[in-house]
Amino acid sequence: MPGLVLLLLGLLGSSGSLPPPRISFPLNSTDRPLVHFSPPGVHNTTTLLLSDDGSILYVGARDAVLSLDVSNRDVISLKNKLDWSPSDGELQECEYKGKDKTVDCPNFIRVLQPINSTHLYACGSFAYNPHDAFIDADSLSMVQISSKAKGRCPFSPVQRSSAITVDGELFTGTMSDFRGVEPLISRHFSKDGRPDVSQDTLTSLLEGERSALLRTHQTLSVD
């Protein structure tokens, strides 16, 4: 957990350039031809997730999640597309809050992670009111959707965030408030009876465990 916290803090706080990729090819290299894929009506494709076998690329875009067949190195084809956008009323409410309806208020997918062997977890800014969902990876269909995604992805489409899943648990580093001034690192979907934790609760949780250990030690000493 401490190592992960440091990693997420580094990703949130780093202002320098990203490190170079492990493998790079010159533009127009014959060793790795560049395949261009640009379906109509798809924008802001900034969140990418490659399947374990490397054959499917999942893409988080504006108001959509896509699965692309990348098994053929020379061709990229659209396998499925899931449309996921706020309603007109939600867009209008976002605009009432002082945001630009077309620039700020669509649903920008900011987190896309495997939650198990068959499903993905996605979280989007959704008209400055983060929503998340579980998605069937094969059919790219919604299984469950929730509007209670605060602390799992940012309100703003331009705020930086980071997320990773480990054994079905989601770890996130993001801004947890509408104004984007409160960074938060959290664990969600905790297993084995453990509670979800965040910066707000971690200190008190550890203090509670410390008190329980002290009580156990005192009991053993008395016995």
Q: What is the pLDDT of residue 69?
A: 92
**For 88-102, what is the mean pLDDT?**
94
Confidence of residue 13 (pLDDT cuts 50, 70, 90): very low
Confidence of residue 5 (pLDDT cuts 50, 70, 90): very low
Retrieve residue 93's tokens. 């409410």
CA distance 137 to 142: 9
Q: What is the pLDDT of residue 221?
A: 47
Domain tally, the chain: 1
- Please determine, for residue 12, whether its predicted confidence score (pLDDT) is greater than 60: no
CA distance 175 to 13: 12
Q: Does some domain include residue 135?
A: yes
Q: Does some domain include residue 51?
A: yes
Q: Does some domain include residue 154?
A: yes
Q: Does some domain include residue 36?
A: no
Q: Does some domain include residue 214?
A: no
The CA angle 173-175-181, to the nearest 5 degrees, is 135
Q: What is the pLDDT of residue 201?
A: 56
Which residue has tokens 């580093």?
Answer: 173
Q: What is the pTM of this model?
A: 0.74
Domain range holding 106?
Answer: 2-12+42-67+81-191
**pLDDT tens-digit series, residues 161-179:** 899 999 999 999 988 888 8
* Least reliable range by pLDDT among 47-61, 82-96, 200-214: 200-214
**Percentage with pLDDT > 90 across the chain:** 49
Q: Does some domain include residue 223?
A: no
Give the dihedral sign, CA 171/70/76/144. Answer: negative
- Please determine, for residue 60, whether its predicted confidence score (pLDDT) is greater than 80: yes
Beta-carbon contacts of residue 145 (< 8 Å; ≥ 6 apart): 131, 132, 133, 134
**For 176-187, what is the mean pLDDT?**
85
* Least reliable range by pLDDT among 7-11, 29-33, 117-121, 200-204: 7-11
Q: What is the pLDDT of residue 42?
A: 86
Higher pLDDT, 19 or 64: 64
- Please determine, for residue 56, whether its predicted confidence score (pLDDT) is greater than 80: yes
Confidence of residue 141 (pLDDT cuts 50, 70, 90): very high
Higher pLDDT, 193 or 201: 193
Q: Does some domain include residue 62?
A: yes
Q: Does some domain include residue 137?
A: yes
Q: In what order do the strands lie in the sheet with 56-61?
A: 47-50, 56-61, 64-69, 77-83
- CB neighbourhood size of 32 (10 A): 12
